[in-house]
Amino acid sequence: MIVGHPSLRRLQRWLDGEEDGLDRHLATCERCATRIESLETDDSVLRQPLLELLTPPEELTTRLRGGIDERMRSREDLTLLSELFGLPIRAARVMSSTSQGET
């Protein structure tokens, strides 16, 4: 017999795998199952601002891209090497520095 419903906090803990005693209640209580679903929704909603926080502003992205372009131009030989041999840039850089050491 269900006396009461677990608190939202307990449901959250159950979602986190820290609360074992709710399995039976949730299996029989549609209301709490719905609350669990809403908790999961809230969680994904909370993630959105975090994603926006992690996404750099457009200005910064453009600036970074410009910097990368400049670097790419100065390493055109490496890019060519990696394209010729189908190697990652890092490997091409190792090859390039090795051949430079020999001359």
Which residues contribute to the site for Zn ion (CB under 5 A)? Answer: 5, 29, 31-32
Nearest approach in angstroms of CB 39 to Zn ion is: 13
Give 30 or 102: the residue with its C-beta nearer to Zn ion: 30
CA 45, CA 43: separation in Å to the nearest integer? 5
Assigned token pair, 12: 């959250």
Give 25 or 92: the residue with its C-beta nearer to Zn ion: 25
How far CA 69 is from CA of 56, 64, 93, in Å, comes to 18, 9, 17
Nearest approach in angstroms of CB 41 to Zn ion is: 18
Of the candidates 63, 43, 39, 40, the one whose C-alpha atom is nearest the C-alpha of residue 51 is 43
Nearest approach in angstroms of CB 1 to Zn ion is: 12
DSSP tag of 56: P
Give 32 or 81: the residue with its C-beta nearer to Zn ion: 32
